[in-house]
Structure 1
């Protein structure tokens, strides 16, 4: 596409220089620019893309999308726009041929459960022979291919390229995690969603959103935008009725609402819920009075809700309860999401991604439902992130765990000892018992060494992650690998 063609689809865009120049790609990172690219100068939190226009030009950028004309290299054509982020989203969507218009698009947002819910939705659709692409925290899945990701929701050019690849590979549907950051930062502005799924809203990311109301308003953007664009199939807002924010959200969308839940009256509701260390069983009640037994191998009441959300999406599409239940029964589970680590030890070890007060509470309450002994938990908190949740997580651990080992998570630029002390304030506030071990491997070893038959040990916060981020280095670290190795050593001993 040419600069002039981009200008025609943007509001208030000014073309500087030769508007007939054709671009061969779109890039927002000057280090990744290739010859023929359009470079989008995006103001960021730590730096400003406008500072790198000259570098992008030297690497081969042939045109620029900027907010400030004075940063454009002399003689280079440019699009001058009021806001670069939403403009980049529109340009990327056009450049890749509006790929979301070729896919039945499902966006999943919420504080907890996005990753599991997207995977269960994909399992339900693909189990009924509906090819479905997925992108989110863990990876991008297209057919049998797996691709690494950098963000839960990619920047607009990366996301549109992914969606184009999905459409070209014959996917009929796509499901993706939609983070609050992505909604506020215009990464998904040009995506035409058919279904939005709301899992829950609890405290997280307040370093970015500042207060819970702003966080809610960010999530609500997905539902306010539903129903725009070209319909590619049935549309709906799928909302967790058990969450306190559901009532407000139900009134903020222009498409039909389908609710799901366990506690509250819902369109699709779980009854007769049974939780074990190896999975869940429940009966899903559907609007027409159909009752469908469901059993699948991911423990936790929260996973019942995640499964209900997936079945609600399948129901919107037109799948039958029985075929969805069969797909869930075959699903092996999501890496790092309440993942059981079993090396034949006489106690249960679970690795989970829980990194919010609500996520930790859900994990601990689930463990209590099937534990035959005591509950121990190993966790920390990420550095340079919402500090207000740290003592709250400590309170949860102090109330619900029998013992707690506090350790490093991804401390980033912060002193991990300071983070531990902030969490410990909450544990102390409720009279809980805790130990401190900065080294995460030693902390896991400490927890596993003191576990007795029938106990449950939760190792939470990092889940699928295979690294630890420190101030001056990122090292390989996988909770699952470490736990397996220690358990093997204990078994030999």
Structure 2
């Protein structure tokens, strides 16, 4: 625990305030509903709500002090005013939990696609090496075998630093964390001491937030420019970069740390050669320049080779042998909702995938085309209240690579689903397609169309178990809906 005066002193603010009381702080919260006795409440001005409007509730729930950036005009509890509460939150969360990431082997993975897959592959590899792991990302947070739900791909700083402290106390060997562009832009990972930063790729996404690709790129580059500017013999830092990506040199130039590259088409430190892609798995030869080793894995597709190369390079420089890496990849379970085949006694294939960008959708459809013997049916939508410019691009990719499209809802949120679909239709050039707003009916329709040898791809939501319509979040699982539709068809 820290006292309020200790926290205020750490911030080094001008005109240091003098409080009549100096309460001990037991926790830091940004959600007034989660405040408990003796917490410090930090007012964050968000996109939909402003924490300054919930100070009364925070105090009622037990907050003993407030940090704000707007005048509150109250004297019932101490208020510390700062210029930017978002930046301040990262600072005090690090300090409050005694800089836990300094005591972890922390691996940050960023990029448009592949972040979840790389972190889960690393989890499998390190566990195969009999090491303890933690994973933070889109699906969940996992510390050892304990699973925790999270609201964002990269959590807000107080929750994040508290989680790091748990990991230190449980003697976790490696923590793999997805680092989103939002988190980098909003300073959620400021102060995190990353040992390895991994870059997968960059393609259009989140332009509702970043506005331009240059802004999106600049946010991603922060992970590498913040990787430390001093060299440490006892704990070296590394940047792992996809050499085949068009932005590779931007990331190489952004860091002062040691760079390790991986790729398929370009020469790199870790290269995949002699690639064989099948409907049941993948084989390739890993070339490190000094060693060559054959890899056989049930993971499917070229995009998964990139994910594996990123994980291989990261695990290898973290001390895992190539023999152990090969063993882990040979028995990989993959990631929920990432190219996940719906099991059952049917003679057609149904695949659920999280692909929600034009690039990732194209990768998945290209992979399916390598083994599909008949038609490919695609069920796809786009999220509401998000980047509108990618909607026609998503539809065009679907039209180019699938035989038949069923356009439907994803998470429409507060937008009219038909408006979203209309935006998608603007990218189509004439191939026949169907519109079915109800996602459950769209999935059922595609599965009922499928004949022997066909493939149905249900794209966009992957592992998600809910659908957000308006302000409501309702239960919805693509995999379970597809499984039920298959059973009904076979009856």
TM bracket (short chain): over 0.9
What does residue 311 of structure 1 align with? Answer: 312
Distance 2:249 2:375 in 1: 37
Pick closer, same or farther for the CA change 1:416–1:16 going to 2, 3 Å: farther
Residues 1:188 and 2:189 aligned together: yes
Distance 1:398 1:263 in 2: 27
Pick closer, same or farther for the CA change 1:47–1:317 going to 2, 3 Å: same
C-alpha contact 1:397 1:432 (8 A) present in aligned 2: no
Residues 1:219 and 2:220 aligned together: yes
Distance 1:237 1:339 in 2: 30
What does residue 490 of structure 1 align with? Answer: 489
C-alpha contact 2:229 2:257 (8 A) present in aligned 1: no
Q: The residue matched to 1:260 in structure 2 has which SS?
A: strand
What does residue 450 of structure 2 align with? Answer: 451
What does residue 33 of structure 2 align with? Answer: 31
C-alpha contact 2:412 2:470 (8 A) present in aligned 1: yes
Larger mean CA deviation between 43-52 and 236-245 belongs to 43-52
How do residues 263-274 of structure 1 correspond to structure 2 at under 5 angstroms?
Answer: 263-274=265-276
Residues 1:330 and 2:331 aligned together: yes
Q: The residue matched to 2:67 in structure 1 has which SS?
A: strand
Measured after TM superposition, the shift of residue 229 of structure 1 is 8.5
Measured after TM superposition, the shift of residue 57 of structure 1 is 1.6
Distance 1:140 1:247 in 2: 31
How do residues 96-115 of structure 1 correspond to structure 2 at under 5 angstroms?
Answer: 96-115=97-116
Larger mean CA deviation between 70-79 and 329-338 belongs to 70-79
How do residues 85-104 of structure 1 correspond to structure 2 at under 5 angstroms?
Answer: 85-104=86-105
CA deviations 1:162-210 (Å, max 9, x no partner) are 1111111110211100000001111110210010001111111000000
C-alpha contact 1:51 1:71 (8 A) present in aligned 2: no
Distance 1:145 1:173 in 2: 15
Q: The residue matched to 1:427 in structure 2 has which SS?
A: coil
Of residues 231, 239, 242 in structure 2, which corresponds to 1:240?
242
Distance 1:435 1:16 in 2: 66
C-alpha contact 1:278 1:297 (8 A) present in aligned 2: yes
Q: TM-score, normalised by structure 1?
A: 0.96
Residues 1:57 and 2:59 aligned together: yes
Pick closer, same or farther for the CA change 1:75–1:476 going to 2, 3 Å: closer
Q: TM-score, normalised by structure 2?
A: 0.96
> How many residues are matched?
488
Larger mean CA deviation between 106-115 and 326-335 belongs to 326-335
Distance 2:471 2:43 in 1: 27
What does residue 282 of structure 1 align with? Answer: 284
C-alpha contact 2:252 2:259 (8 A) present in aligned 1: yes
Distance 1:467 1:296 in 2: 31
**Consecutive unaligned residues in structure 2, runs of 5 or more:** none
What does residue 466 of structure 1 align with? Answer: 465
What does residue 22 of structure 1 align with? Answer: 24
Distance 1:209 1:382 in 2: 16
Distance 1:411 1:125 in 2: 38
Larger mean CA deviation between 279-288 and 22-31 belongs to 279-288
